[in-house]
Amino acid sequence: MHYRSTRKGTARVSSAEAIKRGLSDDGGLFVPESFPSLSIDTIKKLVSEPYSKRAAYVMSLFLSDFSKNELIRYSESAYSSGNGQGFDHKEIAPLYRIKNNTFFLELWHGPTCAFKDMALQIMPQLLTASLHKTGEKRKVCILVATSGDTGKAALEGFCDVPGTEIVVFYPRDGVSDVQELQMVSQAGENVKVIAVDGNFDDAQTGVKGIIADELFCHELDHLGYFLSSANSINWGRLVPQIAYYVSAYCDLLKYNDIKPGDTINFCVPTGNFGNILAAYYAQRMGLPVNKLICASNRNDVLTQFINTGVYDKNRSFYTTVSPSMDILVSSNLERLLFELSGKSGDTVASYMSALSAEGSYGVPDRVRNELCRIFASGRCGEEETLKTIGDTYNESDYLIDTHTAVAYKVLNDYRANTGDERTAVVVSTASPFKFCSDVLKALGRPHLGSGVKLIDTLSEMTGCLIPSPLAGLKSKNQRFSETVKIGSMKKAVMDFIGGR
């Protein structure tokens, strides 16, 4: 299986090369040349396998320069549980049934309690293997700009991985108290965590600027390093995510909730379009999916795009209770546009240049019709998000986080509007304990203040068990306390690498 760019470039690269480079030279994203197929018979065979074997199988269809045994080895070490290590649920990505035909796919049982672990627990192994496979002699320095969840998941994943260093930048006032302490207490010899005097967009622009700075990269090259990124444009983050959609279908079969071949709906709380894109890829491989429901918060640029065929980022940006979905430019949408435009790199390049020049682009009716055939979408505002958490808890005794609540509300609206009551899976992306203060507000306790002590309060109030990685958090020491101005991010990277 080879990969090509979503834009003009016609060069084909191997999967190891795609994972090592992250982004194509023409600014496009790497996409598989074709989709491997997954038959119902194969899916049936995976039903009796544990999560790690299901994931290794799905990844092997895309990563042809990795051996089957190699992938099983990486997968078994990434997706393990027990002894207070790795995942805190033996099924890794379990389904929770809330009513007859409605399930939550809990993707937050990993070491940082958000779905980013599903990819970032295995991506470092895929990346370091890719360096060997491509004959790369330099070490890699991973730069991350995070709005909270990616940073911690990347730190855990890359912590003390030989041949790698990782620097995470987060907006000083833009992450939750739990998220901040998770990051600044990170252990490991090869990690650095820095607050940025600015918002998430500033941090992200800063990181992109550093990676594109040729002179700086040349200096790092002399020190034996090259820069890469661990955000969701990297194929090494996307491919592990396809696996949990297949696994969810296997589990529905396993417990006789559906029959082989039955179609189901997935509803995904969406930000950068990585998670839902993985569901689309699973569908393209043959997983029986009826609709992919794209759930937006108040920043509903994607819902508007699916409904109108016009992507327009010239709009207000809102800070919401579901911060990981606060985004106006969803990078991975480019990969979907590529597929829906008949794999035309020229067409995608023209959309992307219109997006950077004018802030918007429109797709022709043919593409829009395809979008509406595959996707449904909806938006959930702030009040509705909190109300959904409260209602779900009161009616079903099940606690969900702010992002998952957006998706659950959008699914309920979709069902009311369409009458499509078939089996649906809501993708649950974070533990409610990561967003304690808003979850407590949703449960009618708005005045409890802030800070990581609310983890205990939420547990006492609901009787829900604190996930073990968060239980020990309040006694952790702050290791990192540096704040830099946007203009000094590059120097901070050099100080770190130069001192190695």
Catalytic residue annotation: 116
Least gap, CB of 181 to ligand PLP (angstroms): 17
Least gap, CB of 270 to ligand PLP (angstroms): 4
Q: Which residues pair with 222 in a beta bridge?
A: none
Q: Which is nearer to ligand PLP, 116 or 368 (CB)?
A: 116
Structure tokens at 91: 């099924």
Q: Per residue in 59-71, is it b (16+ CB within 10 Å) or e — as a string?
A: bbbbbebbeeebb
Least gap, CB of 297 to ligand PLP (angstroms): 9
Q: Which is nearer to ligand PLP, 269 or 309 (CB)?
A: 269
Euclidean distance between CA atoms 154 and 139, whole angstroms: 17
Euclidean distance between CA atoms 89 and 91, whole angstroms: 5
Q: Which residues pair with 425 in a beta bridge?
A: 103, 266
- In sequence order, the 6+-apart residues with CB closer than 8 A to the CB of 448 are 437, 440, 454, 457
Q: How many residues does the chain have?
A: 500
The radius of gyration of the chain's CA atoms, rounded to the nearest angstrom, is 21
Q: By the 8 A CB rule, do 44 and 260 touch?
A: yes
Q: Which is nearer to ligand PLP, 232 or 347 (CB)?
A: 232
Q: Which is nearer to ligand PLP, 22 or 274 (CB)?
A: 274
- How would you class 33 by CB atoms within 10 Å of its CB: exposed for 0-12, middle for 13-18, buried for 19 or more? exposed
Euclidean distance between CA atoms 131 and 140, whole angstroms: 9
Q: Which is nearer to ligand PLP, 241 or 265 (CB)?
A: 241
Q: For residue 281, give the nearest of 336, 342, 341 by alpha carbon.
A: 336
Sign of the Cα torsion 143, 148, 150, 151 reads positive
CA distances from 438 to 103, 181, 268, 385, 446 (A): 23, 17, 20, 10, 8
Least gap, CB of 404 to ligand PLP (angstroms): 8
Least gap, CB of 221 to ligand PLP (angstroms): 31
Q: Which is nearer to ligand PLP, 6 or 270 (CB)?
A: 270
Q: Which is nearer to ligand PLP, 66 or 103 (CB)?
A: 103
Least gap, CB of 41 to ligand PLP (angstroms): 30
CA distances from 27 to 78, 192, 212 (A): 30, 27, 10
- DSSP class of residue 176? -
Amino acid at 165: E
Q: By the 8 A CB rule, do 146 and 323 touch?
A: no
- In sequence order, the 6+-apart residues with CB closer than 8 A to the CB of 113 are 430, 431, 433, 434, 467, 469, 470
- Measured N-to-C along each axis, helices 123-133 and 235-254 cross at an angle, to the nearest 10 degrees, of 130
Residues contributing to the site for ligand PLP (CB under 6 A)? 114-116, 149, 232, 269-275, 324-325, 403, 429-430
Least gap, CB of 410 to ligand PLP (angstroms): 13
Q: Which is nearer to ligand PLP, 55 or 107 (CB)?
A: 107
Least gap, CB of 308 to ligand PLP (angstroms): 20
Residue 165 three-state SS: strand
